[in-house]
Amino acid sequence: MTPHPDLARYAYDESDQDMLNVGWLASERGHRTEIVDERVLDVLKILSAAYDNQMRDFHLCRFCDICRPVVLGGPAGNTEVWLGSAEIRVQGADGTHYAAPNLVIHYIAEHRYCPPEEFCRAAVRTAGIEAAGELTLAD
Ligand SMILES: [Zn+2]
């Protein structure tokens, strides 16, 4: 997986939609680490079941030996989602689109990656949780 800086223009795959990158990590040291609000992880799991822009092959985590991490996703939290083979795409209130590898869930949960706050808010918004405005992120 080619690393792209957070909030740089998405160019991994062809798309008609302008999007910004989130979570295409290059190395374990190069990213912001913080505790991420659990609700952000929850909504990313919900959204992950959509398997946006599914790839033919798998990307593995660069930081650990885990092979094909799987999470329970979807609205009911009971859909097995394989991480590393698709993207999660969200839209912020200002219309900005973001594209993250679904491995971002693993990066947050296991490697303390902290995505940009605007992405977290966009994910919550996209998942349709009304409390987005009240979401408190670590600062
Ligand atoms: Zn890992």
- pLDDT given at position 27: 67
Q: Give the range with max mean pLDDT: 3-12, 97-106, 121-130.
A: 97-106
More confident residue, 26 or 107: 107
Q: Give mean pLDDT, residues 34-42.
A: 90
In angstroms, the CA 65 to CA 74 distance is: 26
CA of 111 to the centre of ligand 1 (A): 6
Burial class of residue 133 (count of CB atoms within 10 Å of its CB; 0-12, 13-18, 19+): exposed
Q: Of 20-29, 47-56, 89-98, 108-117, where does mean pLDDT reach its minimum?
A: 20-29
Whose structure tokens read 């092959």? 57
Mean pLDDT of the chain: 85
CA of 64 to the centre of ligand 1 (A): 4
- pLDDT given at position 125: 92
**Per-domain residue ranges of the chain:** 20-130
Full-model pTM: 0.84
CA of 105 to the centre of ligand 1 (A): 10
Q: Please, are residues 79 and 102 in contact by the beta-carbon 8 Å criterion?
A: no
CA of 93 to the centre of ligand 1 (A): 31
Residue 87: band (very low, low, confident or very high) from pLDDT cuts 50, 70, 90: very high
Does 26 score more than 70 pLDDT?
Answer: yes
CA of 92 to the centre of ligand 1 (A): 27
Taking a 5 Å cut-off on Cβ, the residues next to ion ligand 1 are 61, 63-64, 110
CA of 129 to the centre of ligand 1 (A): 28
CA of 70 to the centre of ligand 1 (A): 12
CA of 21 to the centre of ligand 1 (A): 19
- pLDDT given at position 132: 41
